[in-house]
Structure 1
Amino acid sequence: MRSSIVRSAQAGLRCASRRPVAHAPKLTYPSSSARSLSATPIRRDEERKWSTPLAKQLTEAINTTGPIPLASYMRMCLTADIGGYYTGALEAGRDQFGQKGDFITSPEISQVFGELIGIWFVAEWMSQGRPRRGVELIEVGPGRGTLMDDVLRTIRNFKDIASSIDAVYMVEASNELRVAQKNLLCGEDAAMRESKVGWHSTCKYSDLPIVWTDSIKAIPQDPSKTPFIVAHEFFDALPIHAFQVVDVPPTQQPPTTSGSPRSASSNTTSATRQWREMVVSPTPEGATHADLGTPKSEQHGAAVPEFQLTLSPSPTRHALYLPESSPRYRALKAVPDALIEVCPDAALYASDFAARIGGSPQHPKPHPSGAALILDYGPADTIPTNSLRGIRAHQRVGPFADPGRVDLSADVDFVALVEAATRASDGVECHGPVEQAAFLGAMGIAQRAEMLVKKAAAAADGLQNDKKKDEIESAWRRLVDRTPGGMGKIYKALAILPENGGKRRPVGFGGDVGA
């Protein structure tokens, strides 16, 4: 069994928000006929005031090269050296995470989340023969390090697996976040030295080495190792390309050449269907919400965004390749005005995870081992569309305003992750995605929360005790909330495991330890 894709009860479900924040409208891509602004010349106005230094930098680049793919815009906004949301120098007092930041992640909501992830890896370690050495813990996009801290704190209670771990790897591009992670996992006074691989320190719970790299490719692929990989709310922040099917009239089709005659069956008087890419350019000064096609219900008195999304007037190199990279995308070319979002970076990471676990032609692994656990949001079995969103101060905001100060994210295409993983390695299979509520429920979240409530009751009295119990109860129920837009429903879990012919399902996906 190469994969066991669990079909959603509501096909086409769209995530309501990146994090559990107030509802707000999502981005709506322009229709194939809404191209007027894309042809409007961009007036070079030195006096124009931009909201951020990155906005000005983006404009200067686009004025030189022309409109850029949506993926390029996202990448610059999130990881630019100057002013990037995660990699630029943080403004005084600014924090992306937590109540005072822009969003809250599951590990920040309740310690139980990270503890159960740690238990999941313990269960996988047991099911794979309890290897005595060579285990690696790898987290991509570790945030402030809260999840890994809870995982390590949990695993240290299981001495056999704790002693089998060779190292912990944290894949983090932001220098500021690396420091925050080091302070939490190793202590503020712990030294951090740099090498060719990355940055090194020592875990506060043991003598376990912790290594930071800015790329997963910097982590050596050793066939003797057993990697346990976690990616929580990582794939949603990877840049996406967006494409739409358009009917190109004969007058706009490229002419035939003597070396490339049209087939006898082709009809030169009919329209040809093509994929066109959504591209980003500065909004011309004086443009209004009406010019951009923004519905009145979505304006809410907001300023006109500084950048706009339009349809490329001709095929880009991405449009010629990416929509042809999967049968799922190719099938939609026959659907008028069909929209798709494609994330090449997500496929690269899923392929890397699979190769580390099951081996690949480039890195053979005689005995597949390890596991990857991906927790994120997106539809269970359909291709995401219209999912780009901005988050700031726990509110949905436009993704094309204040670049570098707004978190950007998009729905994860879980089926595409499965395709990439199983294509990269014959030694892996995938389980899920399953809803987060089902995964955490099977992992025993209610029972663990009850233990914490009893512990709180024994440690305190009166109103303080009641407050703590209410906080614990509210937090874990928030993680498994299955109402429309609830975290338990919109978030999914996906596992990549060594190929075993479907004989064993992992814990949380319908199986048990050793089952």
Structure 2
Amino acid sequence: MLFMTRSCRHLPFSFRAARNIVNTRHSQPSKLRLIHDAASNSTPVEKIIRDNIKVTGPLPFATYMQLCLSHPTHGYYMNTANEVFGSKGDFITSPEISQVFGELVGVWLLSQYASLGNEKIPFRLVELGPGRGTLMDDILRVIARLQHTKQEINVHLVETSPAMRALQDAKLTCDSRPNVLLHWHNSISEIPTTSEYTMLVAHEFFDALPIHVIQKMETGWHEVLISSDTQGPTQSIGVNDAPTSQPPSQSAQTAFSPLRRGLARQPSAASTLLGHSSPRFQNLPVGSTLEVSPTAFRIARKVGELLEAGRQLDGDKLSTGGCGLIIDYGGGHASSNSFRAFKDHKIVDAFHEPGNCDLTANVDFAYLTEAMNDLVATYGPITQGSFLERMGLQLRLQGLLKAAKTDDQRERIKEAATRLVDPSRMGKEYQVLGITNKPSQESIWPFVSDVKL
């Protein structure tokens, strides 16, 4: 199976010894120094990867990510020994920082449902990659306060990790929600198309999907692969050395890790297909590098199908459609060198302790839009800061500050809100894409331009 991400000019590879501490997962590798020495920390997943390379040859980045994150027993998200989220984990997400984030997401979803003008239409919720369930918990709280519905609410959670499912179940199951029915799925394709109005959210989901890295040469698009250097830094295993941003003698890639990047000598059918998978890639110059995720494209296509109105169901019924928000870091373009690893809230060597670190790459929102724009209407992306401010963050913040009982609580509430919207922190790096089941004659709030707050 193929997987993807984005675009750029070259694929530099330099790992510098680091001292800086990174607090959130959205930080760019070009702005940070990397920490940890990858060579001295072999893991079960690293052994699996190197054994695979011995048998089949160099691996695509997609396979590396899939093994590191989703190996059934040793993968990062599958291993119960890994504390993934929160202050004790490897990164912290917006819903974990402040309840306001999830509440405003819930308000937007409900506003789109209300625009139908018929509260008798049943609705359901879908979340891709629900984490610990914090975001869905906040959304359900907003629905309980604003919707006052007694109808059954089906909540569909796309989650492959048994450990994460247990956390979500504990978070979302409570006596005050007898009408909420939880359903877990291994993939979005398992979610049935129904007559219910679908409200979908994907927060920090697409960034963890496996990517392929390809580079344009005179002979076409070549794939950047991962090989195992077991006989010294000069060994080549069916690949050419990938371009680096510094002389090979200074590269921490060859100095510290048995895994290294290399450029395939010839284009493959897969790399050629990926290089032509978007009109935006057609006229890129030789030397351009792209991170591309066909898995992201496929899932975005399925999102469009779930939210499209008028799809034929059983009998004479038609689907009602729905709305959705995709929130992640990235932008409306492809990236070339955003692939990175996180451990203990710090950015680390991408080959450091495979299976024990989170792996991530920027999301190409334009690619997601291309996958679904014949099915649904898309808006944005806009920055997370703009989305939250326009949705009323300051008003909600004032309410929380009034309810706070101590100065310490008030300071923590203000700091959390600032962290979400500050352009130098999470406010600009994270982007929000809106989706509705049909084009609006007017712009959909808050996805409008030239707004003065």
Letter matched to residue 449 of structure 1: L
Q: In structure 2, how many angstroms separate the alpha carbons of the residues matched to 1:18 and 1:58?
A: 29
Structure 1 unaligned blocks of 5 or more:
1-15, 29-47, 188-202, 248-272
Q: Deviations 1:384-430 (Å, cap 9, x if unpaired)?
A: 1111010110100011121100100000000011110114x2xx111
Q: In structure 2, how many angstroms separate the alpha carbons of the residues matched to 1:490 and 1:19?
A: 11
Cα distance change of structure 1 residues 353 and 492 upon mapping to structure 2, 3 Å threshold: same
Deviation at 1:67, TM superposition (A): 0.7
Q: In structure 1, how many angstroms separate the alpha carbons of the residues matched to 2:254 and 2:400?
A: 44
Do the aligned partners of 2:201 and 2:326 also contact (CA within 8 Å) in 1?
A: yes
Corresponding residue of 2:212: 241
Q: 1:52-67 maps to which residues of 2 (within 5 A)? A: 52-67=43-58
Corresponding residue of 1:318: 270
Do the aligned partners of 2:385 and 2:420 also contact (CA within 8 Å) in 1?
A: yes
Q: In structure 2, how many angstroms separate the alpha carbons of the residues matched to 1:375 and 1:440?
A: 12
Q: 1:342-357 maps to which residues of 2 (within 5 A)? A: 342-357=292-307
SS at match of 1:331: coil
Q: Deviations 1:17-36 (Å, cap 9, x if unpaired)?
A: 893577754799xxxxxxxx
TM-score by length of 1: 0.75
Letter matched to residue 198 of structure 2: P
Corresponding residue of 1:166: 153
Q: Deviations 1:283-329 (Å, cap 9, x if unpaired)?
A: 334439xx995759997899712311111111222112111122111
Corresponding residue of 1:496: 435
Do the aligned partners of 1:112 and 1:448 also contact (CA within 8 Å) in 2?
A: yes
User: Among residues 333, 338, 345, which one is paired with 1:387 in the alignment?
Assistant: 338
SS at match of 2:369: helix
Letter matched to residue 472 of structure 1: I
Aligned sequence identity (%): 37
Do the aligned partners of 1:132 and 1:163 also contact (CA within 8 Å) in 2?
A: no
Q: In structure 2, how many angstroms separate the alpha carbons of the residues matched to 1:170 and 1:78?
A: 18
Deviation at 1:130, TM superposition (A): 3.5
Deviation at 1:472, TM superposition (A): 0.3
Letter matched to residue 379 of structure 1: G
- The answer as to 2:396 corresponding to 1:445 is no
Do the aligned partners of 2:23 and 2:345 also contact (CA within 8 Å) in 1?
A: no
Q: Deviations 1:127-179 (Å, cap 9, x if unpaired)?
A: 1224424311000000011100111111101234x445530011101000000
Q: Deviations 1:49-82 (Å, cap 9, x if unpaired)?
A: 8611111111111111111111111111111112
- The answer as to 2:185 corresponding to 1:213 is yes
TM-score by length of 2: 0.84
Q: In structure 1, how many angstroms separate the alpha carbons of the residues matched to 2:330 and 2:233?
A: 33
- The answer as to 2:418 corresponding to 1:477 is yes
Structure showing greater Rg: 1
Deviation at 1:450, TM superposition (A): 1.1
Q: Deviations 1:320-341 (Å, cap 9, x if unpaired)?
A: 2111122111221xx0201111
Q: Deviations 1:169-212 (Å, cap 9, x if unpaired)?
A: 1110100000011011115xxxxxxxxxxxxxxx7523311111
Corresponding residue of 2:73: 82
Do the aligned partners of 1:26 and 1:387 also contact (CA within 8 Å) in 2?
A: no
Q: In structure 2, how many angstroms separate the alpha carbons of the residues matched to 1:388 and 1:276?
A: 18
Q: In structure 2, how many angstroms separate the alpha carbons of the residues matched to 1:298 and 1:391?
A: 23
Q: Deviations 1:253-305 (Å, cap 9, x if unpaired)?
A: xxxxxxxxxxxxxxxxxxxx3100011112334439xx995759997899712
- The answer as to 2:356 corresponding to 1:405 is yes
- The answer as to 2:364 corresponding to 1:418 is no
SS at match of 1:227: strand
Do the aligned partners of 2:309 and 2:437 also contact (CA within 8 Å) in 1?
A: no
Letter matched to residue 171 of structure 2: L
Do the aligned partners of 2:215 and 2:290 also contact (CA within 8 Å) in 1?
A: yes
User: Among residues 159, 162, 176, which one is paired with 1:175 in the alignment?
Assistant: 162
Q: How many residues align?
A: 414
Cα distance change of structure 1 residues 225 and 122 upon mapping to structure 2, 3 Å threshold: same
Letter matched to residue 19 of structure 1: T
Q: Deviations 1:435-492 (Å, cap 9, x if unpaired)?
A: 1111001110111111100000xxx3xxxx1110000000001100113xx2111111
Deviation at 1:237, TM superposition (A): 0.4
Letter matched to residue 430 of structure 1: T
- The answer as to 2:189 corresponding to 1:276 is no
Deviation at 1:507, TM superposition (A): 2.7
Cα distance change of structure 1 residues 357 and 372 upon mapping to structure 2, 3 Å threshold: same
Q: 1:47-446 maps to which residues of 2 (within 5 A)? A: 51-87=42-78, 89-91=79-81, 94-160=82-148, 162-164=149-151, 166-186=153-173, 204-222=176-194, 224-247=195-218, 273-287=219-233, 293=244, 295=246, 304-332=256-284, 335-358=285-308, 366=318, 368-380=320-332, 382-423=333-374, 425=375, 428-446=376-394
Q: Which deviates more, 274-283 or 386-395? A: 274-283
Q: In structure 2, how many angstroms separate the alpha carbons of the residues matched to 1:390 and 1:450?
A: 37
